[in-house]
Structure formats: C-alpha cells, structure tokens
Structure 1
Amino acid sequence: MPPRTLRVDNFICRSCLASLRKRPSTAQWAFRHSSQAAQPLASEASSRRTREQENERQKTLETLGLVKGSRDARVSVNYFEQGEGGKLRRLRDENEFGRSLSDPDGQAEIRMKELEQELEEATQFTKIVEELWGKQGAEKLRKRVTSQDEALPKPSLLLLEEDWTGQDRTRIAQLNNMVRTIGRKARGGVLPLKRINSLWKYYYAARVALSKKWESVHGDIWDLLWQILAADHPNNPNRMSHTHVLAKDMQSAGVTLRDDQQLLAIEATFVNGLQEDAITAHKKLVTTLGARPDTFVEFWQLGLRMYCLMGDIARAERVANTLLESPYEKDPRFLLPFIRMCAEKPATVEKGFELYQRLRSALGDEITIEDYDQVISYFLTSNETEYAFYIFVEMMTSNTVDLHGTHRVPPSVASPFFYGKWLKRLIGAGDLQGAYNVLLHMKSRGVMPQAIVVNGLIGAWLRSGTADNIKNAEDVAWAMINARMQFLSVRKDMKNLATYVRLRQYGEGWPRANLETFSLLAENYKERGIHPKMEELWRTFRDAEIVPNSFILNQLLFSYLQSGQGKHVAALTHDLTNQYQVEPDSWTFMALWQALAINRLIQIPPGQLLMEVSRTRSLFAETVRSAHLLAPNGIDVQLARFILHSFRKLDDKFGLLLAYRALRQIFKFEPPDAVVFELRVGSVDLERTAKGKGGLRLMHAGKQIEDYLKRRHDELIAAGQLNAGDDLPEDIRQEELGNFVEIFLQNQVELPGDKNMEQALEQAATEMGLNDEVTNREMPKHSTAI
C-alpha cells in the first residue's frame, strides 16, 4: 500500500511493480516446460497470498487503469535491456520483455531440444541394456557411471573467474575449460600425451595469475593437477619437470604435501639438476619420513639412488647398511644402483662384486636371468670383463662354479663353445661393445672364438650404421682375413719342409675368415658405394682360395653397376661362372639386364642399335637356359619387367612379343596391373607420363582394358562358365589381362601386307633360344581382338 502522506497517483507500490513485471503466457510456458520443480514453488507462493492483499492489489490496479475492461487504461510502459558493456537496447513490447526475462541469452529453446534428445537417447540406451543384461546389469552400469561422474571436477570447485581481470581472467577461464575437459576425458584412465601437454600449457600460462591469489585454488584442483601431471606413464615423458614446478607452487600456496608427494617432489628436484637442494630436503625429513614404518624403505631407497648418482660412496654405503639392517620388508634389488656405481671405478670394483654376492644371497632362488644380465652389463660397460665373466659362469652353472680368486679356469668353461653362448646372448641383446670386450677377454685367455660368432658381431656392427661400429667391423673382418692369408702361407711353406717340421701361425688370435666374412664386407661396400674397396676385397678373396657363391658375385656385379662400369658386368659374370662354376640366380640376371646399354645409357648411337638388339636377344637366350634356376618359384616381377622394357626401348617388336610369350609359358609369369599399363602405354614411369600429355593415353588405355574385361565377362556368362551377377574371379581376370597384353603386342607385329613376318619371328626365336611352340602360339578365338 502507498504511504498515507503521498498521493496515490504519484506512487506505485511493490505489488504493482510486480504485476508490471509479470511474465506473459509465452514466458510462463517456457518456465513450465523447462523445469517441473518450479511449479510447486509457484503454487506455494500463490497460496501464501492472503485474500486481503489480493483485494488491495486489485483496487490499486483499478486506480491506475491497468485492469482489463477499465475504461481509463491509458498507461504506456517502455522496456529496456542492458547488454554487454552497459549498453541499453529498447524492447518492442511486453512479450519481448517477458522473453528477455525468462531467456536472457536466447538459448532456452535450443537447450530444451538438446535435453529432450539426450533424454530420448538415454531412455533407448537403458532399454537396450535391460534387454541384453537384464535389470541387474543395467543397475550395475548405472552405478558405475554414477561413480565416474562423481570423480569429475565439480563446478563449485573450479577457479572463480570473477576474482581476476583482463588477461589473467582469460587464462583462468582457459584453465577451467581444460580442467572440465580433463575431468570428462580421464574417466579413471590414462590420458593421451596431447591432452596432458595441453593441461600443462594452460596451467603454466595461468601460474602468474594464480600466484596472486593462491588461496582461490581449491584443494581438489591441486589433486587433479597432481594426478595428471605427476602420473608415471609413457604418455607423460615430462613428468619430473612438471612435478618439480607443481610441487613448488603447492608449497607456495600453503598446501601440505602427502608423504608420497614429498618423496616424488624431492626426486623431481634432483632430476631437474638441483641436486644439493634435493639432498637438503631429504635430510630434513630423516626424523619424519625416514623413521615411519610405512615410508622408511621408500625414503632411504630414494636417498641411496641420489647418493649413487652423485658418486658419494661413503654416504651411499651408510644408507645401504641402514636398509639392510632394518627389519622392514624390502626388495634386495635396491642394491643395483650401488653395484653399478662401484663397478664404474677400478678402486671399488671389488666392493661392487661383493655387493653382487650379497644381492645373490638375499634373493636366493628368486634371482632371475634378467638380474644376472643387469649386473653383468654394469661390469662390461666399465670394461671389467673378468668380473662379468665370473658372474656369467655362476649364472650358467647355477652357482656351482666359483672362479673368483682362482687362477685356473676349468676347460669346460674356457672353451669357444661356452664363450660363444655369452657372445650370442650379448649380440642378441644389442650390447655390441660388451660383446667386443668379451672377444678381447677370450683372446687374452688364449681362447680363439668361433668364426661364426665373430661374423655375427661383424654383421650387427655393420647393420647399426654408426661410424665407430663400422670401423670396428672392418678392423675385425680384415684381421680375420689376414689370419686366413697367414694360414695359407704357412700351409704352402710346410709343403717344402720335412714332415717332422711344424710351423705355427702367429698373430692376434683371430679366427680365419670364411665366405660369410667376405660376403658381409662385400654387401657393405656395395651399399656404401665404395668400389675401390670392393675391388681390393675381390682380389684378396681370390687369393684366399675360397669358392665364391652367387651372393658375393652379385655384390661385385652391382658394385660395378653403381660405379658406372656396367660394360664390364657381362664379361666378368661369364669369367667367374666358368671359372668357379657358380650358378647364377635372379639377382645375377637382374645385374646383367641392367648392364645392357639400353638400360645404362640415355641414348644409343643409331649405328649400334642392331648390335644391341642382338645382345639383348642373346641375353634372353641365356636367361631361358637358366629357367630351371628361376622358374620353380616363378620369375621375379622386377626381372621380367626389365626384360620386357629392354625389348620395348629397342623397338624390337618381334623380340618383345616372343619374350612376353616365353615369360608366360616357360617362366609362369602373369603381369600385374602396373606392367600391363606400362606395356600398353609404352612407358616405364606411369606417374611421369600422367603429368604430361600422356595422361590422355593413360585414360584411353584404362578404358580399353576395362572394355576388354567387360566383354570377356559377358562372354563367360553367355557360355555358362559364370553366373549372372558374379564378378570376374581374380585368377581369370589375371589370365585375361595377360591375354590382353599378348593381343596388343601381336597386333603391333601383324602389319597388313607384311610377307616377311613369319620369317622375322623365326629368326628372332632362333636368336632368343625359343622353340616353335612359343613362336607359333595361337591365341584363343574369343581373344583375337581388343
């Protein structure tokens, strides 16, 4: 009611203002449908209104002329809306004013549709789960989802963005968004690397803003950051640097770190290079974490690792004794860092071996092969091969043979076979330097290693590709070659001496090189393109009186090709195969076909063209004579490709047709799609052809092949060999593609009015070593045209 001292027409009471702001029907509809919880509140508020207040309100409205039916209703009201930046916008009418109150951002209808869609999807999902798992299974799933949702960061625990302004507020908002995303994506599992890095990026960007108001960061936010950024997982490679910064910020914010967090923070400080700070922090916790039963072992093991990395043997030994004398349960493998530190220095290597013996005794039957390998690697890395040998013998003999302190090694142990097991194990594990140290140790004890084992190390060195390993491989391989040459020299000299005279080989005790040794060097020199060394190796190989095989022959041939001396390949191949009776293989013929002038030179002088045609046909005849070496497993596709393109480049149409027929009949060759296109288009590089004007040729060739296959498909269906609707089987398709190429090549030969065609074919067949069956082959009648 208005005060009595004022006139009614100059004052509007609060109830009247409330009626002016009353929502129209559209706003009421939005509120009714947006939340059912609003209905009991509205009914409760209206029930509290007394009849007297309602009557008083009606009188006031009648006085103001705001009641429907009142004759003097002449009051006009203007409505405004304040947007961002304080700017006012006038609204059109009362309906727009109601919508502005009920839906300020204009997204209510969109949100309602999204909620209705989510509700419908949830209902359908629940029905499906109940059908599959029953009501009990659906209830278990609901509880699990509920527990996961409870683990998400609650909106009330996020950073209040209103506490910051400007750029700081933007960074806090970005961090909040990332925390929400992390909460949704984590679901109790491990986050991917990209997500962890994003969280760190936004947190690091907001650190300056957060440092101004550390008290605004809720404890749950710190827990979430620690859980993600300090997780020990391969997806978190920067774990220690993240932990170091995060722990400092938490301490600055006054957050009390848990015991496990304090230990990890000390380790992170040490790893990040602040070793003295980490040691100081560790010492401060001696009376707390270092005395509690639940943290005693972990605390002192951390100290032992730090002292070992710093090389402080005295303190490390005191900590190790503290752990060994403690009554708490622990894994004796905590001594491994101490053993490694002692094995690195000659002055303490004996102490390291004693610690190994204590570790072996403490583990007993629980010691594993991996434990032995780990300790052995410590001594091998520091070049203390003698102690490593002691441990390896104990591992292989189940501690029944103890060589420590003895001067004589049993023959069963001091044998190439026993050492060979060790070398194979080290080479397989990738410890090449350790294997080399074992070789030197064998030679120092007068035990000559087996050539097969040393070749294995040479091959591993060469495969690694590093300069030091390649140098070691060459040095050892040539030492073995020298041993071979000395052996031959001694054997030659002994022929001229009396039978009772014996000569001994001198040198460094390396085994004699064999064919595998030369093959390893030859392959490496070929791959590296070092032709002078290859020639030196080949000269030595001939003097070494070792019968070559096709592998080392092929390395030599390809080395000549790479060095631009392909013209010598054919003569060299014939000499070596005749001298050593080496049977060529696919790689040998690959080198021979690549060595042809048509494949080596950019252009052949016109006067030499006929001679090159004759050479190419002669090489094909030689290839046919070696069909028993190539055909059993089918000819190599690349070799067949080189053969066909060699004839095509020479424009020897008769030779190309006969070569293709022979490859199909004798070598069981079926051209793949790429070779079919190359022969149809007349190019060895389809990608390059497609970029130029040849693209039209490719399109035309593709259409021609497709039409041919379609026609053959229809003919097979009409003949009853295929059912209607079935695709062309792959084997039939491959055969038809081969027929297509042969028809195409045959059409290139069969020129109208050419009476000398049969004579030219017979001459070409004779030069190419082919019989009449290949020459007079007839295509099926259904495949005589394309």
Structure 2
Amino acid sequence: MSSRAIQSLRYTPRFVCSQCLFVPHKPASPSAFLPPHLLYQPARRWKSQLKQAPREAAPASKKSIDQGFPESFEEAKKTLNVRYFEQESDGDLRELQSSDDFARSLDGTELYQQDLENDLESIMDIVDGKNTNERFRAQLEKELLNAIEESKRRSTEATPEGQATKAATETPQINEKTFRKEAQRRLVRKLNSALDRAEKANRRDNAPSKRTLVPLWKTYVAARQTLALSWNAVPRATWDMLWRLFSIEDPVGNPNRLSHVATLSKDMSAAGIDLTPSQQILTIESLFVENWENDAVKNWKRCLPKLGADHSSSFQQFWELGVRMFCQTGDMEQANRATERLLNAKSDPRILMTLIRTYSQMGTEEAYTQAWEAYRRLRGLLGSQMKLEDYDQVISHFLAANQTDNALHAFVDMMTSGTTDLKKHKRLPPTVGNKFFFGKWLKRLIGAGELDGAYNVIKFMLQKRVQPAPIHVNGLIGAWQRAGGERDLENADAVAWQMIESRLRFVRERRGEQTAEQDSAASTPWPRATLETFSLMAENYRLRQQHDSLMRLWQAFNEAEITHDAFMMNQLLESYLQYGRVAEGAELYKSLVSGGRVKPNPHTFMTLWKMLDVNRIHISQDQYYCEMENARNTFNEMMKFVDVFDEPIDGQLARKILHTFRRLHDSHGFLVALTSLRNTFGFLPPELLVLELVVGTTNLAWDTLRARQRLRIEKKRMDLDIMQRREALGKFSGSVNELEELSAEERGEELYEYLVRVYTPVRSEEDKEFIDDTQLLEEAAQQMGVYNEATSGE
C-alpha cells in the first residue's frame, strides 16, 4: 500500500506536482491558441527560486514574438486545437481525452483513485491468504471502497455537470448575515443545520420520521421571532422544503401535521409567498381543524372562483373539502350543492359516504331517510365497482346510529349483490331470517372490531325472534373481554349471565320444576350458555382477581349440569392460589379428580406444583420434611396421569419440578424425578437449566462482575467434567471443539449424566455405614410412584 493511501482513507490529499505548477490551472478551451510567452506563468511563491536559477536565454520581447506570427492569426486559431498529455510513472506519455480529464489529472484524484484500487486488490490478497477474521476483512474492504467512491465523487464534482448536480442536491440555506445580533445568527445557524439533517434523513429514508421532524419544528419555532424581522432572508426553496416535510400525511411520524401547516401558511403569507392551489386547500383544512371554522369557510368561499372552477387542477380536492366542512358544521344545503357539483363532474361517488355518516348522526327519521337515499344513490352510481369495504363503511355508519334495519338491508345487498330488496318484504324471508345468515354478519363485525354494532345486531335478532348461535355470542363476549374497557367488561358480564340464566331455565324445565309460563323472562330467546361461556367468564374473573364472582360462577356451573372440564378446574385452582387459599384448592382438586368427574391436564399439575409452600413462601428448617413429603406425593399424583402429557413434557413444568426438589435439598427425590422425566417423558435438561440447578437459582444474573465470574467458573467446570468422562469412556475424539460438535441429543445426555453426578451424595466410609443411599433412592421412588421404572432404568 502506498504511503499516501495509508495516511488517509477518507480525504483526498491536496497535492500538486512541480510540473503542474507551471501550467495554468484554468484549462483553455480546445479552440484557443496562445502565444508561447503566455503559456509559461510560474506561481508567485516560486518567483524567488526562479530568480536564483540561471537563465539560459532571455525570453523574446512581446513585440518580437508577435512579429513572428502571421497576420492571419485569427484564422489560424480556428484550425488549431489543444492536446493534453499525462506522463506515467515509467516515463511514457498518455494523451488525455478532454479538458475535464486534464482538470482531474491536475487535482491528483485520478492517480489517488488508481492507487486506492491497487491497494484494495493487494490488501484483499493478503487478507484472503492469511485467513483473517471475516468481519474485519469485510469492514476493511468497505472502508477502501468508500474511499474510492469518495474519490470518484470529488472527481465528478470537478466537472461543470458535477457542480450542477451538487448544487441541485444541496439544502437551501437562510442567510444568517442578514441579522445583526449574534444570538439571532445562532438561531438561524441551528435552523440551517436542522434543515440539512432533515433533508439528508428524508433522502436516506424516503420519508421523514418523528425523530427528525420534532427537533426541526422546535428549532423553527425558536427561530420564528428572529425570521419575522426579515422574512426576505428566507428563500422560497426553504419554504417549499418546510412545507414538503411538515405536510406529509403520517399519523405516526407527523401527528401534528395540520397544526404545523397552519403556522407555516401564516408565516408564508407574512413573507409574501404565494401559496399553490394545493397549499391553499390544505391551509383551509388546517384552519378548520384548528377550530377556526368560520375563517376556514370564508376562505373557502373566497377561493371558490379560482380553485373551484371546472378547469382548475384542484377542482375535486377543493369541492370534497367543502363537502366535509359543511357536513361538519351542519349546513347540509351547502353540502348537497357541493356534492352535486362533484357528481356532475363525474367525480368519485364515494363522497356520498360523508353525507351518509352525517345524516345518520342527526338522529331524526327524516335524516335516516336521507341517509338511506344517499346509500341507494351511491350503490347505483358505483354499480359493480362497489367493494366490500364500501359496504362495510356504510353498515358501520348505520349501526353507529342504531339504524339496524338499514344496516341489515345494506348487508343483504352486499351478500346478494342487490338481488334481494328487504324493503319489499314485511317479514324477513327464510333465507335471511336465520341464525346462520346473521352469524356471517356477526363474524364480520366482530372481526372488524365493530363490537357495539354486533351487539345491536344481536338485540335486533332477538326482536325478530331469531335466536343467535351461542358460538357467535361467545365470540362477542371474548372480544369484549380482550378490549378490556369498563363498558366492554360490563357488556360481557351482562350478556354472559343472560346466557347462563337461559341455561339454568332450560335445566329447570327439563327437570319439570318450571314451565315456560311460570317465568316471564323465558320469552326472551337468549341462547343457552355452553362450556365455552363458563370458561371465558372463569378465566376473566381469575385475571381480574374476582374470587367471589368466580365462586358464584362455579355454583352456576354445577347447577347448569354441564360436564366438568379441566379448564374450569384450573381457573378455580389459580384463583385459590392467588388468594393464598391453597388448602381449599387442594380439596377442590381431590373432590373433582378422585371421583372421576374431571381428568386433569398438564396445566393442572403446573398449578399444583406452584401451590406447594416451598414455591410460594419461605419455610423453616423443621418444615422441610413435611414439604418433602408433599412434593413427592405431588409427583406421584402426576405419574398417575402420564397419558395426558405430550412427549416430551413441557420444559417449564420440568423446570418447576427439579427446582422444587433442589430447594428442599432432597437429592434422592431430585435424582428420581430427573430419571423419571428422562425415561417416561423423554426430557433432557438444556444447558441453561443445568447451570441454574448447579448454581442454585432460578434467575441467572449477568449484571454484576461476581455473577458473571461465577457462571464462567461453573461453565468451565461442567465442560471439563464432561470432557474427562468422555475421555475415561474412550469417547474423546481429540478435537478442541468436541463439545460444540456434539448433536443436541448427545449434548442432552451428557448434561443429564453431569447432573446425576453433581446431585449424587458423596459419603465418607464412616457415613456409608449409617446411610444407605440405595435404600433411600428406593424409598423415594416408591413414594413418588415410579419404583418399577427406577429399578429397571438404573
């Protein structure tokens, strides 16, 4: 690599060779011809050296030189042109193609670029040959390529075309010298810098972000008072850039769009800047949104002759704004006139959506009729071009205004393509008046988040004596619960208990304890609650920690004579656990499972393990034996329902089991549980769990130096032990990275064996006479319900 390239990979050196100093820096045009005495003009700083150098011959006077040229000098210039040459390092001359090449050669960028390319090739050869770090190699290559591109860019900017391109991409700046005080200039400089950063970010990301626009606006607001002293200092290009950045419609990146536009338009008017038609329309809209409604309407009417003309490029945009503003102010006469102007000009008929929404919100029968007529006209104008999204929007407007009849008619139009007109039927036809047809509508509304609309549809169905399907009502209950609002939860509870009462009424009628005439509420055909209804409510009450409501629900569940389910039992157990009433939870489990009424699932046993005192509270030393018994009995209970588990067992459940025995210092129970999890459930402990069990914590901390050092020590100890064992068994291949090359199953087996060695009690010869670990393991296996498995597996 040349020394010049080593010095800097980012900046081009400003060197000029001694020969080039004697050549004019401004190349002559190809058709120019100069006398010899004008071609040799040394730089001023070299004059002292030139005076000391001996002269071989004095130059001829200008008069004598001029006499040597023919009188037809002007004609001779037309037939001559200048040729440029570059002397290579080996002494050969190379002809340059144009004066631009000569300028680049004079600047030294061409030679520097060539050196960098040669250096890149040589360095890549060295890097490839030495197998250097791939990331370092890529980074070095990137830096060298950037240096080459920078050299090319500077070379291009030296040409007139390059200068023009650079000028076109530069950010327009405000002249700070217009202002006298240094504080004012400082504000202007900050604004110029913010503009430059915003423009670069915009070119890089193709759209400004909130992180870019917020600082820019703060800087502009800070400089507004200063700029108002001399608006002429702000060029039109700067105003255009500010408008372009702050008028972008992006709710996330530019949430205060119209507020910023209103301020900018005010400042531009003060600066005497004429707004374009689109800018004027956006300004009117911003005034309207910023609560200057009267001013916005006046400005709209004032711009009507120019912007609202038929030949105007902003015709549709202008009249659509008028429709929206007049609908917002309640001037429906003007809104209808503006709408007619648009429709007569063959504009998009969807502008009628604004009228439909406004009429629907008025709440009068006359307005409802106008809304329906507007919808019919919209459907007639669009025809086959009316999309599902258009129907959904119309239906949403009708449902929001509680016009369920009109909403149903629009939905029927959507489903039947307008072939069925419900207005001509006094009663719902069978193809429409059934729970399956309404179920499609409810699914669509719930999926779109129109929960209030779906509720209105259900009430409409009940009025029409069409009973909704429980699955659809349960879907609405679940959607309300996921929404989580106070009103949503109240609606969910009300509808769910209506369904529960309907189920209880059905049970009483089936028993003969009640007839339909004895209960006036039976006339309301609410669907009967299902197991899903109770499960939704049970989970919601548990999450909201409403234990009393959950107990009331459990009582109703028993009265409803629905087959008991593990999910309901799990919610009750979790609720008991939340309130610390684990004894009652254990009794509930025994009463439901022992009688065969409910079959537990893996989530049930996760709750049972969490209910153990050792996993909830701090226990004293004298409680360890009792808790050890409880843990072993819980494992025994789990082994009775092996068939409910998937293979392998859930990792979190296995982790909870092993940590429970670790906390109890029950090494025999730990070994039995670890062996059973492997043999019965196919579970092999991952490395992270092994480290937790060895270190003795459920939360491996990395935030302190001591914790990190301890983890490193345990990791090295574990790897060394595994390597020594493999070497003793003759499995060591001699590779340095042998442990990393093991398969997942082999690695799991090694970690399993390591845990067994760590938790196997080490006894002295004296202790072995009094403690028989083999017998203790057998007792633990018997108590944990895996004696046959343990004796056959070990």
Bigger Cα displacement from structure 2, 183-192 vs 763-772: 183-192
In the other structure, the counterpart of 2:637 is 622
In 1, distance between residues paired with 2:200 and 2:695? 57
In 2, distance between residues paired with 1:164 and 1:503? 90
In the other structure, the counterpart of 1:703 is 716
In 1, distance between residues paired with 2:690 and 2:638? 22
Q: TM-score of the superposition, structure 2-length normalised?
A: 0.77
Distance 1:384 1:763, change over 3 A: same
Shift, 1:356, TM fit: 0.7
In the other structure, the counterpart of 2:372 is 353
SS of the residue 1:187 aligns to? helix
Shift, 1:579, TM fit: 3.4
Instruction: Give the partner amino acid of 1:515.
Output: L
Instruction: Give the partner amino acid of 1:338.
Output: L
Shift, 1:263, TM fit: 1.1
In 2, distance between residues paired with 1:174 and 1:31? 45
Instruction: Give the partner amino acid of 2:25.
Output: A
In 2, distance between residues paired with 1:572 and 1:30? 100
In the other structure, the counterpart of 1:450 is 469
Counterpart among 256, 272, 281 of residue 263 in structure 1: 281
In the other structure, the counterpart of 1:341 is 358
In the other structure, the counterpart of 2:506 is 487
Instruction: Give the partner amino acid of 2:391.
Output: Y
1:152 correspondence with 2:174: no
In the other structure, the counterpart of 1:211 is 228
Shift, 1:370, TM fit: 0.1
In 1, distance between residues paired with 2:693 and 2:791? 20
Distance 1:150 1:772, change over 3 A: same
Instruction: Give the partner amino acid of 1:676.
Output: V
Contact kept in structure 2, 1:560 and 1:566, CA below 8 Å: yes
In the other structure, the counterpart of 2:90 is none
In 2, distance between residues paired with 1:339 and 1:466? 29
Shift, 1:222, TM fit: 1.8
Distance 1:691 1:164, change over 3 A: closer
1:540 correspondence with 2:528: no
Contact kept in structure 1, 2:723 and 2:732, CA below 8 Å: no
Instruction: Give the partner amino acid of 1:337.
Output: T
Q: For each residue in 1:87-114, what CA deviation from the matched residue of structure 2 results, as whole angstroms up to 9, or x when unmatched?
A: xxxxxxxxxxxxxxxxxxxxxxxxx999
Shift, 1:386, TM fit: 1.4
1:459 correspondence with 2:478: yes
1:421 correspondence with 2:437: no
1:672 correspondence with 2:690: no
Report 1:590-739 matches (<5 A). Answer: 590-604=606-620, 606=622, 609-630=624-645, 632-687=646-701, 698=711, 700-712=713-725, 719=731, 727-729=740-742, 730-739=744-753
Q: For each residue in 1:441-469, what CA deviation from the matched residue of structure 2 results, as whole angstroms up to 9, or x when unmatched?
A: 11111111111100000011111111110
1:313 correspondence with 2:332: yes
Distance 1:766 1:367, change over 3 A: same
Q: For each residue in 1:478-503, what CA deviation from the matched residue of structure 2 results, as whole angstroms up to 9, or x when unmatched?
A: 11111111111112127999xxx999
In 2, distance between residues paired with 1:714 and 1:34? 79
SS of the residue 1:687 aligns to? coil
Instruction: Give the partner amino acid of 1:744.
Output: V
In 1, distance between residues paired with 2:548 and 2:445? 33
Contact kept in structure 2, 1:31 and 1:38, CA below 8 Å: no
Q: For each residue in 1:722-748, what CA deviation from the matched residue of structure 2 results, as whole angstroms up to 9, or x when unmatched?
A: 867553323322221111001111235
Contact kept in structure 2, 1:32 and 1:38, CA below 8 Å: no
Shift, 1:506, TM fit: 1.1
Instruction: Give the partner amino acid of 2:233.
Output: S
1:579 correspondence with 2:595: yes
Q: For each residue in 1:584-631, what CA deviation from the matched residue of structure 2 results, as whole angstroms up to 9, or x when unmatched?
A: 11111112222223333421472x54443333222222212212221x
Shift, 1:173, TM fit: 1.7
Q: For each residue in 1:552-582, what CA deviation from the matched residue of structure 2 results, as whole angstroms up to 9, or x when unmatched?
A: 1111111111111112222211211233532
Counterpart among 261, 274, 294 of residue 292 in structure 2: 274
Contact kept in structure 2, 1:483 and 1:513, CA below 8 Å: yes
In 1, distance between residues paired with 2:347 and 2:701? 66
Distance 1:609 1:231, change over 3 A: closer
Contact kept in structure 2, 1:761 and 1:775, CA below 8 Å: no
In 2, distance between residues paired with 1:759 and 1:665? 21
In 1, distance between residues paired with 2:115 and 2:753? 61
Counterpart among 170, 177, 202 of residue 193 in structure 2: 177
Instruction: Give the partner amino acid of 1:266.
Output: I
SS of the residue 1:212 aligns to? coil
SS of the residue 2:465 aligns to? coil
SS of the residue 2:423 aligns to? coil
In the other structure, the counterpart of 1:550 is 566
In 1, distance between residues paired with 2:200 and 2:579? 62
Shift, 1:379, TM fit: 1.0
Contact kept in structure 1, 2:243 and 2:264, CA below 8 Å: yes
Contact kept in structure 2, 1:297 and 1:330, CA below 8 Å: yes
In the other structure, the counterpart of 2:387 is 368
Contact kept in structure 2, 1:161 and 1:172, CA below 8 Å: no
Q: For each residue in 1:11-55, what CA deviation from the matched residue of structure 2 results, as whole angstroms up to 9, or x when unmatched?
A: xxxxxxxxxxxxxxx9998997799736879x9999689xxxxxx
Q: For each residue in 1:426-447, what CA deviation from the matched residue of structure 2 results, as whole angstroms up to 9, or x when unmatched?
A: 1001111111111111111111
Shift, 1:636, TM fit: 1.7
Q: TM-score of the superposition, structure 1-length normalised?
A: 0.78
In 2, distance between residues paired with 1:336 and 1:472? 30
Distance 1:695 1:174, change over 3 A: closer
Instruction: Give the partner amino acid of 1:703.
Output: K
In 2, distance between residues paired with 1:295 and 1:655? 82
In 2, distance between residues paired with 1:308 and 1:323? 15
SS of the residue 2:674 aligns to? helix
Instruction: Give the partner amino acid of 2:388.
Output: I
- Structure 2 unaligned segments of length 5 or more: list them: 1-13, 40-46, 54-106, 121-141, 149-155
Identity of aligned residues (%): 36
Contact kept in structure 2, 1:566 and 1:600, CA below 8 Å: no
Bigger Cα displacement from structure 2, 265-274 vs 115-124: 115-124
Q: For each residue in 1:49-84, what CA deviation from the matched residue of structure 2 results, as whole angstroms up to 9, or x when unmatched?
A: 9xxxxxxxx9xx9xxxxx989xxxxxxxxxxxxxxx
Q: How many pairs are equivalent?
A: 678
Shift, 1:387, TM fit: 1.0
In 1, distance between residues paired with 2:317 and 2:275? 16
Q: For each residue in 1:319-355, what CA deviation from the matched residue of structure 2 results, as whole angstroms up to 9, or x when unmatched?
A: 212222x3x3311111111110001122211101100
In the other structure, the counterpart of 1:72 is none
In 2, distance between residues paired with 1:260 and 1:603? 74
Q: For each residue in 1:134-175, what CA deviation from the matched residue of structure 2 results, as whole angstroms up to 9, or x when unmatched?
A: xxxxx9xx99999974542466x6435344432111111222
Instruction: Give the partner amino acid of 2:492.
Output: A
Shift, 1:698, TM fit: 4.6
Distance 1:154 1:457, change over 3 A: closer
Q: What is the RMSD computed on CA atoms of the aligned residues?
A: 4.1
Distance 1:266 1:694, change over 3 A: closer
SS of the residue 2:630 aligns to? helix
Instruction: Give the partner amino acid of 2:605.
Output: F
In the other structure, the counterpart of 2:492 is 473
SS of the residue 1:506 aligns to? helix
Contact kept in structure 2, 1:647 and 1:655, CA below 8 Å: yes
Distance 1:113 1:652, change over 3 A: farther
Counterpart among 737, 756, 761 of residue 742 in structure 1: 756
Contact kept in structure 2, 1:654 and 1:749, CA below 8 Å: no
Instruction: Give the partner amino acid of 1:745.
Output: Y
Distance 1:741 1:35, change over 3 A: farther
In the other structure, the counterpart of 2:181 is 165
Distance 1:113 1:591, change over 3 A: farther
In 1, distance between residues paired with 2:386 and 2:443? 22
SS of the residue 1:581 aligns to? coil
SS of the residue 1:201 aligns to? helix
Contact kept in structure 2, 1:153 and 1:179, CA below 8 Å: no
